Structure 1
Amino acid sequence: MYRVSSKHPNATKEAISTTKIRDNNVRITRSKAKALGVSMSPSKPAFKQEPKRVARPSNKRMASDVTAYKHKRRAVLKDVTNTLAERAEGDIKACKHGQKETKQISEDGLVDVDAEKSKLAEDLSKIRMVESLDASAPKQKEDGSDVADYLQIVDIDSNVQDPQFCSLYAASIYDRSHVAELEQRPSTSYMVQVQRDIDPNMRGILIDWLVEVSEEYKLTSDSLYLTVNLIDRFMSHNYIEKQRLQLLGVTCMLIASKYEEICAPRLEEFCFITDNTYTRLEVLSMEIQVLNFLHFRLSVPTTKTFLRRFIHAAQASDKVPLIEMEFLANYFAELTLTEYTFLRFLPSLIAASAVFLARWTLDQSNHPWNPTLQHYTRYKTSALKNTVLAMEDLQLNTSGSTLIAIRTKYNQQKFKRVATLTSPERVTTLFSR
C-alpha cells in the first residue's frame, strides 16, 4: 500500500499512476485517469517522429487567397474596360475629327461628299449590272457580236439621286413584275365565252368615256390603266348586262382611284358623272362585288408599270431626253386600252412596242432598237413585229374608229400635240429589211 503525501497529493498520484502503468503495463482509460487525477498527455517517444502533413489550407490563408483573386480579377476587368473605353474614345475622336475635316474640305470646295457617295453607289450598281450580264449573257458567237452588244448596254440604275427610281432594287422589282403579269391576266376570249349582252365595241365606248372622266377629275395614268385591268378581269368570269356596264366602269375607276390617287374623288362625284343614273348604294354594292371576286388583289403590273422603265432605257444614251418621245409612247400605249384585241399581248410587250414605234416615228435615220432596250425589255426586234404593226394601224386609224377621247387628249399643247405626228415611212419596211 502506497503512502500519499499530503503536501503534494496530485504529484504523488501522478507518480504512482505512471509507475504502475510502466511496471504492470496496465491499460488506463480516461475515466480511470480522471478518478486518479492524472493527465493523459502521452510521454515523448524515444525517436523523433515526423508529423504527417495534410494539405489543409487554413481559413486565414484561404480568405487571403480569395481576396487576392478578387482583386486580381477586378484589376483585369478594369484594365480591359479601360482599354475598350480608351479605344472607343479614340475612335469617336477620330470620327469627329474626320467629320470636321470632311466638312471643312467640302466647305472649301475641294471635295463634294455627296458626289463621293453617288460615285460609290454608281460603282456598286455597275458591279451588280456586270453580275447580271454574266448570268444572262448568251453564248458567244464566232464573230464576237454578242459580247460587243452587251458591252454597249447602258446601266440605267446607276442614278441614286431620285429615290423613286429604287435603283438598288429596280432589277428585282421588274423581275417580279414580269412574272406577275402572267399570273393575273384577263381572259382574251371572255367576250365569246362569258359575255352575251355586250361586245368589244361597247367595251371600247365605255373605256373611251372613262378616259374623259379621268381627264375631268385629273386622275393619273396609273388609275386609268388599273381601271381597265379591273374591268377586264371581272368580266372574264362574271356576266354583265349592258345596262350595268357603265356601273361597272365607274365602280372600277372608284376602286383604282382609292388605290392610286392621293386625293381620290368622292363616291358621289362618280354618281354625278353618270348623270345620277346609278345611286350611291348601287355603286357600293358593285364595289363589294368586284373586290370580293378579285380577293382585293389590286397590285398588278400594267402597261404603265413597264412603260416608265422602258422609256428610261430608251433615253439612257441621249444627252438631252426628248419629251416628245415620252408623250408619244404614252399615246400609243393608251390607244390600245380601247381595243379588245390587244388583250392577247402582255403589258410589257405593249410597252416595248410603244417605245419602238415612238422612236421610229421621231427618227427614221436610226434603228429604234438597241442592246440597252433589248436587255431591259427582254424582247428582240422580231418579237415586237406583230404588236408594232397593230399599233401603227391604231396610230393611222386604218379601221376608221370614232373613239376620239385619247386622240383629243394627246392633241393638247401640254402633250406637244403628239397625236398629230406620223412617220413618212411605214414601219413594215423596217421588219422587211
Structure 2
Amino acid sequence: MNKENTTYAKDEEPPVRMTRARAKTLSSLGGIPPSSRPSFKHEKKQRPRANPKRAASDTNKTSVITTAGLQHKKRAVLNDVTNISNEKICLNSINISKAQASTKARGVPTRKQTKAASDVPVENKLVQEDVKTKLAEELSKIRMVEAQESTLPVKLEEEELVQQDIDMICDELGSSRGPGIVDIDSDLKDSQLWSLYAPDIYDKICVTELERRPSTKYMEKLQQDITPTMRGVLIDWLVEVSEEYKLVPDTLYLTVNLIDRFLSRNLIEKQRLQLLGITCMLLASKYEEICAPRVEEFCFITDNTYTRGEVLKMESEVLNFLHFQLSIPTTKSFLRRFIQASQSSYKAPCVEMEFLANYLAELTLLEYSFLKFLPSLIAASAVFLARWTFNQSDHPWNSTLRHYTSYSASDLKTTVLALEDLQLNTKCCSLNAVREKYKQQKFKFVANLTSGKPVQTLFY
C-alpha cells in the first residue's frame, strides 16, 4: 500500500461518487469545491467493462418484449364501445382539463410542471406529492359525481328520442294513406321486418324489374335449336332438383330468370341447354342458399353428362355476360309483400291462401308465354285468383291491395284469366312437377283446389 492511500484513509473520509443530480443540488446551495468535483478519469477506471455477449442478449430480449407488446396491442379487444361509455370518456377528459385549469389558477403545478421539477431538493418533492394526492382526490370526486349524474339521464333521453321518432314516422305513414287502407308497415319496432324501409325498397325493385327483364320473344328472334317446350321440360326437371336438394323457392325463381336472360342474347344448342340449367341453379344457390350444393352434386344429378370443368366454364360465361348482376326482383319478391297486404283483411292469417298463391305463381315459371307479364303483375294476379278461389262471396280486390300493388282489378284481367287456365290445366300440360309438389300434405293439398265460379264474371 503506498503512502498517499494511507494518509488519505487516516485524514479524510472515503470519497463519495458524484452524480449529476447531487452536483446540481450542491451547486444551488453554494457551489462545488474543486476537490469534490468528479473525476471522469476515476469514473472510467471504476466503471466495469461491458460484456458484448450480454449486451447482445439484452438487445434481443428488448426486441422480443417490444414485438410481444405490439402483438398484444393488435389483438386487444374492445369490450364496450357503446355511446354511453364514449360520452363518459369525453366528460371525464373535459372534467380533467377543467380541474387542471382550476389548479393552474390556484397556483398548483400541473403534471408537466411536476415532471420538469423532479430534480429539485427533497422539500419541493414532498410539496409536489401532497399536491398530487389532493388533485387525485378532487378528480375522483368529480368522476363519481359525473358518473352518477350521466348514466340514468342519458339512457332515459335516448329512449324518449327513439319513441318520438317512431311516433313521428307512424304519423307520416298514416297521413300518406288514403281512407280504408290498412297500414301493413305499422310494426316499426320489429327490426326483422324492415318496415321502415319497405316502401322505398319495393319502389326501387319496381324500377329494377323493368330494367333487367328478359326478352319476351327470344325464341322466335334468336334461338334456332331450342323451343318453348324444351324450355318447359328443363324447368320442370329443375323443380324436381330443387325439391331433391331442399332449396328455397327464391333459388328456383332466380334460376329461371338467369336462364331467360342468358337465352335472350346468346344462341345455344339443345345439347347444352341442360348444362345452362344446372349452371344457373348453381349460381342461384350460391346467391340465395346458406349451404349451396357443390358442383359435383349438379354433375351427378345429370348422370355425369357434364364434367366439373364444363360447369365451371359455363358459370364464368354466364357471369361475364350478366356482368355479375344477380340481384334481380322475381315474382317471389313481390309475392311476399302482396300476401302480407292480402292477409290484412282476414281476422287470422290464412295459410292455405298463401300456399295457393305460391302454387299459381310457380306454374307460370314453366310457361314461356308468361314472360310478357312483369313479375309484380304475376304476383298480384296470383293473389287475386287465390282469394277468389277461397271466397266467391266477396270481391277479391280491395283498396289496400290496390295501394300496395299499384294495380287495379282491371289491370289484372288478362293475367288472371291466363292464370286460371293454368290452374284448370285446360291445355292438358304433361309437366306435373309443380302440381305434384303442391299436392303434398305440407302444402295443404292446394293443387287440388279450383274455384266453383269462373273468375271472368268479375270483369263484366
Determine if the TM-score, normalized by the shorter chain, exceeds 0.5: yes
Q: Distance in 2 between matches of 1:424 and 1:332?
A: 17
**Structure 1 residue 160: deviation in Å?**
3.3
Which of 436, 442, 455 is residue 408 of structure 1 equivalent to? 436
**Structure 1 residue 316: deviation in Å?**
1.6
**Structure 1 residue 121: deviation in Å?**
6.8
Structure 1 contact 252–287 (Cα < 8 Å) conserved: yes
3-state SS, counterpart of residue 192 of structure 2: helix
Q: Work out the number of aligned pairs and report it.
A: 331
Q: Distance in 2 between matches of 1:156 and 1:122?
A: 15
3-state SS, counterpart of residue 182 of structure 2: coil
User: Deviation digits for residues 179-210 of structure 1, max 9, x if unmatched?
Assistant: 00000010000001110111111100100000
Structure 1 contact 211–406 (Cα < 8 Å) conserved: yes
**Residue 313 of structure 2 is aligned to residue 285 of structure 1:** yes
Which of 228, 237, 244 is residue 200 of structure 1 equivalent to? 228
1:260 counterpart residue number: 288
3-state SS, counterpart of residue 187 of structure 1: coil
1:82 counterpart residue number: none
**Structure 1 residue 99: deviation in Å?**
8.9
Distance 1:324 1:72, change over 3 A: closer
Q: Which amino acid aligns with 2:212?
A: Q
2:347 counterpart residue number: 319
3-state SS, counterpart of residue 282 of structure 2: helix
2:252 counterpart residue number: 224
1:20 counterpart residue number: none
Q: Give structure 2 stretches of 5+ with no counterpart.
A: 1-100, 109-139
Q: Distance in 2 between matches of 1:123 and 1:412?
A: 45
3-state SS, counterpart of residue 165 of structure 1: coil
Q: Give structure 1 stretches of 5+ with no counterpart.
A: 1-70, 79-84, 103-112, 134-149
Which of 129, 137, 158 is residue 173 of structure 2 equivalent to? 129
1:180 counterpart residue number: 208
Q: Distance in 2 between matches of 1:100 and 1:291?
A: 49
Of all paired residues, the percent bearing the same amino acid is 64
Distance 1:199 1:155, change over 3 A: same
Distance 1:124 1:214, change over 3 A: farther
Q: Which amino acid aligns with 2:420?
A: E
**Structure 1 residue 131: deviation in Å?**
4.9
3-state SS, counterpart of residue 167 of structure 1: coil
**Residue 121 of structure 2 is aligned to residue 93 of structure 1:** no
1:355 counterpart residue number: 383
Q: Distance in 2 between matches of 1:193 and 1:395?
A: 29
Q: Distance in 2 between matches of 1:390 and 1:224?
A: 22
User: Deviation digits for residues 227-272 of structure 1, max 9, x if unmatched?
Assistant: 0000000000000111110000000000000000000000000000
Structure 1 contact 118–160 (Cα < 8 Å) conserved: no
**Residue 261 of structure 2 is aligned to residue 233 of structure 1:** yes
Q: Distance in 2 between matches of 1:152 and 1:117?
A: 31
Distance 1:384 1:119, change over 3 A: farther
Return the TM-score normalized by structure 2.
0.67
Distance 1:378 1:205, change over 3 A: same
User: Deviation digits for residues 339-372 of structure 1, max 9, x if unmatched?
Assistant: 0000000000000000000000011111111111
Structure 1 contact 186–236 (Cα < 8 Å) conserved: yes
3-state SS, counterpart of residue 411 of structure 1: coil
Q: Distance in 2 between matches of 1:100 and 1:165?
A: 25
2:117 counterpart residue number: none
Q: Distance in 1 between matches of 2:146 and 2:347?
A: 45
Q: Distance in 1 between matches of 2:326 and 2:219?
A: 22
**Structure 1 residue 127: deviation in Å?**
2.3
Q: Distance in 2 between matches of 1:72 and 1:253?
A: 72
1:430 counterpart residue number: 458
3-state SS, counterpart of residue 163 of structure 1: coil
2:322 counterpart residue number: 294
1:379 counterpart residue number: 407
Higher alpha-carbon Rg: 1
**Residue 421 of structure 2 is aligned to residue 419 of structure 1:** no
Which of 214, 222, 225 is residue 242 of structure 2 equivalent to? 214
Distance 1:241 1:320, change over 3 A: same
**Structure 1 residue 289: deviation in Å?**
0.5
Distance 1:89 1:316, change over 3 A: farther
**Residue 185 of structure 2 is aligned to residue 157 of structure 1:** yes
Structure 1 contact 154–372 (Cα < 8 Å) conserved: yes
Structure 2 contact 355–446 (Cα < 8 Å) conserved: yes
2:303 counterpart residue number: 275
Which structure 2 residues correspond to residues 34-53 of structure 1 after superposition, within 5 A?
Answer: none
Structure 2 contact 174–183 (Cα < 8 Å) conserved: no
Return the TM-score normalized by structure 1.
0.71
